Structure 1
Amino acid sequence: MTSSSSIKDSLFMKALRREPTERRPMWLMRQAGRYLPEYRATRAKAGSFLKLAGNPELACEVTLQPIERYGFDAAILFSDILILPHAMGLGLGFQAGEGPYFERPVRTPDDVAALPTPDPKDDTGYVMEAVRLIRRDLPEGTPLIGFAGSPWTVATYMIEGRSSKDFANAKKLLLGAPEAAHQLMNHLADTTADYLAAQVEAGADALMIFDSWGGALSPTLYRDYSLASQQRIVDRLKERCPDTPLILFGKGCGQHLELLADTGCQGLGVDWTMDLSEARERVGHRVALQGNLDPAVLLTSPEIIQAETRRVLDSFGDGPGHIFNLGHGITPEVPPEHVEVLVETVRSRTF
């Protein structure tokens, strides 16, 4: 069992508090994934992605795999951003080559009004059990990150019924039925806050919200729906888990960095479309920054990986408050040995 003091003094947690560390802490989004042969073996044993995510013992196993292989400075719970709508009875499934889909999408105000409120300890109890198992089995001093999708990002899948390129149905709801859209965002924000607070109670040391599709919205719609719903979550978590740091990650949301920093979160994930030097200049010392190597770099060569990794480190510059990560999730085609090159390059940089 890891002591709370060793977690608090970990490189990852110190960086989130913008305290000096002897080297940059690092972890990777989607670090437990298909690029690892051991993950593929466990997933084959489970039978499907959803069965893997729904089995606490196997979810624990794959969460620990990249920690055992690379010794990352933080683990992230193996789960999915669509667990909450799945618990609401929308019929989540995964189609090979197509991604997630819902059998019963939410399209009308009546659909929104009919959504139930899942109990995080009952309807998603398997997630909390996975958190407990991971927390028990992680190496001493390794923090565990719990997570959820942002209300807007989760809503796009609920409304469209599957992945989308233009989010036409979702935007139609925001623009054509704003009252129902706000009701949906508030419902998702409140259930997400409950879900994340339950992860903390089960053993998560930090939290992260993934807003994968915030960049698809106009500035007005972003502020009114995506940002407002994330703010609602931040406010509720500050009341319930005031000592648990929260990282907000918005893909394609560089124009909104200052607004995100003003929410009261402790860290901001930055995608690869912005230099960290610019992000740091814009948010100052309000938050830690996490990122932001383009995942495609890991498909190249060791020499390019080293050069691009150093470029990211140099872009942030010296001083505290940086957690090295990718600008989005690691892709399945990445050779595991390329991740080793990345890890060694980051760890060789002291400051």
Structure 2
Amino acid sequence: MNAPLKNDRFLRALRREPTDTTPVWVMRQAGRYLPEYRATRARAGSFMALAQNPELACEVTLQPLQRFELDAAILFSDILTVPDAMGLGLSFAQGEGPQFARPVRSAADVGRLAVPDMDGELRYVMDAVRLIRRELAGRAPLIGFSGSPWTLACYMVEGQGSRDFAAPKAMCWNEPALAHRLLDVLARSVAAYLAAQAAAGAQALMVFDTWGGLLGPAPFREFSLRYMAQVVEALKADPHARDLPVILFSKGANGHLAELAGTGCAALGVDWTVDLADARRAVAGKVALQGNLDPAVLRASPEVIRREARAVLDSFGPHPGHVFNLGHGITPEVDPAHVKVLVDEVHAYGRALRAG
């Protein structure tokens, strides 16, 4: 049995309910900026060995909560677990990022893809979720996550990381029917993957559309937004996931906030290139917002970190429905002491805002 939740600020904020202060967590909060993470990673031997070991994944998930008063934990994993489970031969080359031995380029390649077995190839993820939820002992809620169908397709078609992902974009232009078949199987896979995390104990679900901002307005609607909406709809029909809040984070897609808010999600993550006051107006009270400090601010002095955190909080205002976060993931060179400054300032100033 899982322990009762002792801190529900994060979940209350996602429901746009009043909270005593602004909840805060940080994208990539379990990662290379922490010396204890680097030690565990070295012990594991490789990134994939770490991600696929439930005990070690639990250990690194909890590490930032042992340092900072964070209001949520997020499963330590990788967005490419789903395509890896589809048999594409994922590896991480030193200093070069992810690579697939068997990229998806043809109709035959797409035809070989199927929704992975959540109790087979992806069981290690669900085992990690169950273990983390138990070890959290109600300290904070646990976020499960996945890459978006479009973002997964980017890596699967390109075969590796890229700045512009020209190959998947070319597939959308040259073979749109094939792109849609790929995105449909990915949307069904992502929905099943998130539902399985919900069944294992995740208390909120997040979809990372990291490369949505690479698409123009019409292609974004056709190849990214459409399939995130499909995922949300499927989760709302799942008995384990239907009551869990879903957060969509489409980096660089600030012009589509109103449409994203119409998918039925509970919240939208926003990057640092939009003012939160403008984002609030765009979503018209339909969803909560998460974000959106520039991650580079954490390399500045404590005084600047406090000032910029207050500016983000002032931009949103004393309204319910804000989860403080970075506008993207924390970077490896950040001093952990600066993260403590940020978390403490968000909580202190969030209380002051509510006190009027």
* TM bracket (short chain): over 0.9
Q: Could you tell me how far apart the structure 1 residues matched to 2:235 and 2:164 are?
A: 31
Q: Tell me if 1:124 matches 2:122.
A: yes
Equivalent residues in 2 for 1:156-235 (5 A)?
Answer: 156-235=154-233
Q: Tell me if 1:31 matches 2:34.
A: no
Partner of 2:91: 93
TM-score (norm 1): 0.98
Contact 2:204–2:246 (8 Å) recurs in 1:
yes
Equivalent residues in 2 for 1:173-322 (5 A)?
Answer: 173-240=171-238, 241-322=241-322
Using the TM superposition, give the Cα deviation of residue 38 of structure 1 relative to its aligned residue in structure 2, in angstroms.
0.4
Using the TM superposition, give the Cα deviation of residue 140 of structure 1 relative to its aligned residue in structure 2, in angstroms.
2.1
Q: Could you tell me how far apart the structure 2 residues matched to 1:2 and 1:108 are?
A: 45
C-alpha deviations, 1:240-281, integer Å up to 9, x for none?
A: 021111000010010000010000000000000001000011
Q: Could you tell me how far apart the structure 2 residues matched to 1:309 and 1:174 are?
A: 39
Q: Could you tell me how far apart the structure 1 residues matched to 2:108 and 2:172 are?
A: 15
Partner of 1:40: 38
C-alpha deviations, 1:103-161, integer Å up to 9, x for none?
A: 11001121111113211121100000000000000042410000000000011100001
Residue 80 of structure 1 aligns to which amino acid in structure 2?
D
Residue 187 of structure 1 aligns to which amino acid in structure 2?
V
Contact 1:2–1:141 (8 Å) recurs in 2:
no
RMSD, matched Cα: 1.0
Residue 291 of structure 2 aligns to which amino acid in structure 1?
G
Q: Could you tell me how far apart the structure 2 residues matched to 1:329 and 1:108 are?
A: 33
| Candidates 80, 83, 87, aligned match of 1:82 | 80
Using the TM superposition, give the Cα deviation of residue 53 of structure 1 relative to its aligned residue in structure 2, in angstroms.
0.2
Q: Could you tell me how far apart the structure 1 residues matched to 2:124 and 2:137 are?
A: 22
Runs of at least 5 residues in structure 2 that lack an aligned partner in the other structure = none
Partner of 1:328: 328
Q: Could you tell me how far apart the structure 1 residues matched to 2:73 and 2:248 are?
A: 17
Contact 2:115–2:186 (8 Å) recurs in 1:
no
Secondary structure at the residue paired with 1:348?
helix
Contact 1:93–1:100 (8 Å) recurs in 2:
yes
Contact 2:41–2:50 (8 Å) recurs in 1:
yes
Using the TM superposition, give the Cα deviation of residue 71 of structure 1 relative to its aligned residue in structure 2, in angstroms.
2.4
Q: Could you tell me how far apart the structure 2 residues matched to 1:71 and 1:60 are?
A: 18
Structure 1 stretches of 4+ with a deviation exceeding 3 A read 1-4
Q: Could you tell me how far apart the structure 1 residues matched to 2:229 and 2:72 are?
A: 25
Secondary structure at the residue paired with 1:326?
coil
Q: Could you tell me how far apart the structure 1 residues matched to 2:170 and 2:112 are?
A: 19
C-alpha deviations, 1:143-195, integer Å up to 9, x for none?
A: 00000000000111000011112211101111111111100000000011001
Q: Could you tell me how far apart the structure 1 residues matched to 2:119 and 2:67 are?
A: 31
Q: Could you tell me how far apart the structure 1 residues matched to 2:216 and 2:111 are?
A: 26
Contact 2:293–2:308 (8 Å) recurs in 1:
yes
Of all paired residues, the percent bearing the same amino acid is: 60
Contact 2:3–2:134 (8 Å) recurs in 1:
no
User: Larger deviation: 28-37 or 137-146?
Assistant: 137-146
Contact 2:126–2:200 (8 Å) recurs in 1:
yes
Using the TM superposition, give the Cα deviation of residue 2 of structure 1 relative to its aligned residue in structure 2, in angstroms.
4.1
Partner of 1:11: 9
Contact 1:24–1:322 (8 Å) recurs in 2:
yes
Q: Could you tell me how far apart the structure 2 residues matched to 1:200 and 1:14 are?
A: 18
Q: Could you tell me how far apart the structure 1 residues matched to 2:295 and 2:114 are?
A: 37
Q: Tell me if 1:137 matches 2:121.
A: no
Secondary structure at the residue paired with 1:129?
helix
Contact 2:14–2:321 (8 Å) recurs in 1:
yes
Q: Could you tell me how far apart the structure 1 residues matched to 2:84 and 2:282 are?
A: 38
